[in-house]
Amino acid sequence: MPAFIPFLGRISFTDYVIVVLVAMEKVLTLVLNCIPQMWIDVGTTIVNAVTRRTLSPMDSMAQQLRDAKDIHEMAQVFGVEIEDHIVRTEDNYLLTLHRLVPNPANSNGQVVYLHHGLLMCSDVWMCHTVRECNLPLVLYSLGFDVWMGNNRGNKYSTQHLDRSPGSHEFWDFSIDEFAFFDIPNSIEFVLTHTHSQELICVGFSQGSSQTFAALSVREDLNDKISLFVAIAPAMTPQGLHNRIADTLLKSSPRVMHLFFGNRILLPSATVWQKTLPPTVFNVVIDLANRFLFNWKSLNISPQQKHASYAKLYSTTSVKSVVHWFQILKAQKFQMFEEHDIVMNSWNPTRSYQITSFPTRTNIRIPVLLLYGGTDSLVDIDVMKSNLPQSQVFDVMIPSHEHLDLLWGRSVGDFVIPNVLRFIWFFKDIKTLEADTAMGSTQELASPFAKTYSDSASTKEA
C-alpha cells in the first residue's frame, strides 16, 4: 500500500500547482546562483553601455537612478545630500533613518517623517525621474526638515544587538512590532534630535497601516504627530485579483511557511533583479502586478519603470506577510495570531477573540486619505469606518492605481499638491486657534471636507 502523507492529502489541486511553481522558481534561482557574479556584472556592463548610447535626457536620468546603489547615490543625482541616523528600538533592532541634510537658510521650522510600504525601503521616495515629483525633495525645497524611516529587516535595517540576520529569531516579527516599536521609536528619535515637540507624518501603503496601528496602541503618538497623510493606505483589502493567488492567501500559515520558510520573504528576488535584463525584469514586475492586483500601470512611463522597479523590492519577514493574510482572511485590522501558527490552521471555531487595533477610538489627529480610484488594495468605505469620522478627510484621484501615487506621471499634479494643501490648511487653522479664543482645531476645521474637496478638483463628478 502506498504511503499516505496527511498534509499533502488535504491540499487542493490549485495548491499542488502553486507548490510546483514555487519549486521551479527555487530550482531556477539555484541555477542562477551558480553563475559567477563576474559574468553577471560583465553582461550588465555591456547592456548598460549599449543602451546609454541611445538614451534621451529623461532616459539618462532613469538610468542614473536605476544604477544608484543606495539612497545616497540617488540623492546625488538630484544634487542633495543624505545623513544616516541609527535608532535603537526598545527590542534592540537597529534601524537606519535617512535625513536630507537641512539648509538653515531655508527652514520653515517644520519636521516631516515619511515611511515606506511593504517590501520597500526609503529608496522608493527618491526615484521619480522628475525632480518635482519626489515628495521629499519638494518638501525640502519648501524648508521642511525631511526624514525617511526604514522597517526592521529591510535593506537598511538588518542589525540587532543580540540576534544574527541568519537566525529565525531575527525575522520573528510582524506588523505588531512595526507598530509597537519601529514607528514610535523612530519618531521619538527624530523629535529628540531636532528638538521638536511634534512632526508631520506621511505613509505609503503599509507605511500608513503601521502608523494607524502605532497611533492606536501608543496613544502618546497623538501628541507627537500633528498631521498624518496616508497615501494609498491599506488596512483591510478585500483580497487578490487572481484566483490561484487568492487561494494561496487563504491557505493556512503552514502552507505559507512551506513555500517561503520562516525568515526572509522572496530572497531570490534580488537574484532575478541582477540577472534579468532591465526590460525583461520590468515586464515581469508588470505581469506580476497584473496577475496579483489587476494593476495595468498605464500611468507609469517606461522610463519611470526602468528607474523605480529596481527599487521595488527590499527584504522583510515571511511572518509580516502572513499577518496580512490573517487580516485579509478575517477582514479586520487585527493583531498577529500566534495561535494560528502553532495550530497550523485557520480555526473558525476558536473560543478566543483576536484583538483588533483600536484605530477608531484612539486616533485623535487630522488624517488625509489620498487614494487612487482604481486601486484594488484600498476599500475606502471600510477604512473610513475604522477611523474616527471627525478626524478623517479623503481625496480620490480617478483612474489611478496603487503605485501610481508614488511614480505616476501625475504625482506632481495631484498627489503632492494635495499633501501640501492639507499641511498648509491645518497650519493656518492652528495659527488661528492660537491667536483667538475660538474652539478646538477640529471645530475650526469642520468645513474642511467641502473646502478641501472643492479646491482639490480631483474628485470624479
Kindly list the distances between the CA atom of residue 264 and the CA atoms of 153, 154, 177, 248, in Å, as whole numbers in the listed order: 8, 10, 16, 18
What is the C-alpha to C-alpha distance for residues 140 and 297, in angstroms, rounded to an integer?
28
State which H helix or E strand residue 88 sits in: strand 82-88
What is the C-alpha to C-alpha distance for residues 461 and 253, in angstroms, rounded to an integer?
43
Decide: 25 and 268 in contact? Cβ < 8 Å.
Answer: yes
Degrees (nearest 5) of the Cα angle 216, 292, 122?
Answer: 50
DSSP 375-405: -TT--HHHHHHTS-GGGEEEEEETT--TTHH
Decide: 391 and 215 in contact? Cβ < 8 Å.
Answer: no
User: Looking at the annotation, which residues are catalytic?
Assistant: 205, 375, 402
Which residues share a beta bridge with 397?
372
DSSP 113-126: EEE--TT--GGGGG
Burial letters 270-282, b for 16+ CB under 10 A, else e: ebbbbbeebeebb
Q: Which cell is 360 given?
A: 477608531
| Per-residue H/E/C for 22-40 | HHHHHHHHHHHHHCCHHHH
Kindly list the distances between the CA atom of residue 360 and the CA atoms of 67, 149, 235, 404, in Å, as whole numbers in the listed order: 43, 25, 12, 28
**Other beta carbons within 10 Å of 32:** 15
What is the C-alpha to C-alpha distance for residues 77 and 141, in angstroms, rounded to an integer?
16
Degrees (nearest 5) of the Cα angle 221, 122, 224?
Answer: 15
Degrees (nearest 5) of the Cα angle 68, 69, 70?
Answer: 95
Q: Is residue 287 exposed (0-12), middle (13-18) or buried (19+ Cβ within 10 Å)?
A: exposed
DSSP 317-353: BHHHHHHHHHHHHHTS-B---HHHHHHTS--TT-SS-
